[in-house]
Structure 1
Amino acid sequence: MSTADAYPARNGSSGHYWFAVALIILLAQIIAEHFMGRVWICTCGTVKLFEPGVNTPGNSQHLADWYTPSHIIHGFLFYGLGWLVLRKASFAKRLTLATFIEAAWELLENSPIIIDRYRSATMAIGYEGDSILNSAMDTIFMALGFLFAARVPVWVTLVVAIIFEIFTGWLIRDNLTLNVLMLVYPLDAVRAWQGAL
């Protein structure tokens, strides 16, 4: 038996090891958000499976909302990124990388600088950040998107992503594409169109 066989978790050959690392990253995200002063659940005192409102106090506070499809698409994108840059790495390593990126984004998204940016540049006028529950679920939905992309043909992933983007764009006048656009390069015409909802 080689040293690698004797200590599979240490050399990274064990999928269980990398899945555990991904779970630790998620727990670190939750703990960090607690110390950032984020609320655990909606201040309304309830937990919903889905929050149907967009510019409401319950948005980004419950298990899922209309921005959940964006986080699922994150998983699609991170799966593609992992395939491109870590093609020889195990599935578990690539999922761990995706979890790290998503957790880092969740921490940044709930920082004062991004919250203020959302308020000033996007349709999220009263946005106060995610609850810890919602933020953790965003990371979990990303992982589900990653798993989905790993199991279906690329064309299916692309079709689902396009459907998500078109549907949420039509329904709430926001989606991942518009969200990124308005954070990076806000357009008055888009803001006016979103505000007319």
Structure 2
Amino acid sequence: MGSLVPDRRAVIVSVIIAIVAVGVLLAMDRPPICECGYVKLWHGKINDAGNSQHIADWYTPSHIIHGMVFYALGWWALVRRGWGGKNAPRWGLALAVVLEAGWEVLENTEIVINRFRSVTANYGYSGDSVLNSAADIGWMAFGFWLALRLPVRVTVGLALLGEIVAGLVVRDNLTLNVIMLIFPIEAIAEWQAAGGVQ
């Protein structure tokens, strides 16, 4: 098997994992939808109460890229290295959903919310709505599907385009978020603040 094509069971397990994550987030008292009381397809401001509350926002490209990265890691581990045996590649999507769902739960803990507020461009971040977290898992699955279907060069190009556009428009993206969460750099924080990130 040369790719991570999921079978029906793997897709069903992936959906179940996403549903469990939604249940955990609800049990954590995350708001089901934006506390504003409505749902938007797109919310374009990153430093207001609607950020990470709706279906898509400037962090959606990051979640799509997660799917691309998880596909690459899964391909390397399950196909190239052969870990898990000959049937393991079909479970690549389920493993990706576990990783994304785990991140969504971790991201909505007080310690991570406070870390985002203190070191990233998201000084007003209050965590995600459950709708947004569920959508983020879906966007990751979309990125995984793109990586499954598209040539590697196109996938890498799309990931770079997403990073560049988000970086130019809101001065934040997956790369900057990871850097600032793990090893904050004052120059990046100053550059983001100078751009009046909204």
**Do they superpose with TM above 0.5?**
yes
Please give the residue correspondences for 1:1-197 in structure 2 after superposition, counting only pairs within 5 Å: 15-87=7-79, 88-89=86-87, 92-196=90-194, 197=196
The one-letter amino acid paired with 1:36 is M
Comparing 168-177 with 118-127, greater Cα deviation is found at 118-127
- Structure 1 runs (4+) deviating above 2 angstroms are 88-92
Q: Report SS of the residue matched to 2:56.
A: coil
- Separation (CA, whole Å) in 1 of partners of 2:172 and 2:41: 21
Flag structure 2 segments of 5+ consecutive residues without an equivalent. Answer: 1-5, 80-85
The one-letter amino acid paired with 2:18 is L
Q: Report SS of the residue matched to 1:143.
A: helix
- Separation (CA, whole Å) in 2 of partners of 1:102 and 1:91: 18
> How far did residue 89 of structure 1 move?
4.2
Once the two structures are superposed, what CA deviation does each residue of 1:79-110 show, in whole Å capped at 9, x if it has no partner?
00110011144554100000000000110011
Contact 1:15–1:90 (8 Å) recurs in 2: no
- Separation (CA, whole Å) in 2 of partners of 1:89 and 1:189: 47
- Tell me what 1:5 maps to: none
- Separation (CA, whole Å) in 1 of partners of 2:90 and 2:74: 10
The sequence identity of aligned pairs, in percent, is 50
- Tell me what 2:3 maps to: none
Higher relative contact order (CA 8 A, sep 6+): 2
Q: Report SS of the residue matched to 2:159.
A: helix
- Which structure would you say has the larger Rg? 1
Contact 1:68–1:141 (8 Å) recurs in 2: yes
TM-score by length of 2: 0.90
The one-letter amino acid paired with 1:131 is S
Q: Report SS of the residue matched to 1:107.
A: helix
- Separation (CA, whole Å) in 1 of partners of 2:147 and 2:97: 15
Contact 1:19–1:92 (8 Å) recurs in 2: no
Once the two structures are superposed, what CA deviation does each residue of 1:27-50 show, in whole Å capped at 9, x if it has no partner?
000000001110000000010000
Once the two structures are superposed, what CA deviation does each residue of 1:106-156 show, in whole Å capped at 9, x if it has no partner?
100111110010011111111100000000000000000000000010000
- Separation (CA, whole Å) in 1 of partners of 2:90 and 2:112: 30
Query: What's the C-alpha RMSD, in Å, of the aligned pairs?
Result: 1.1
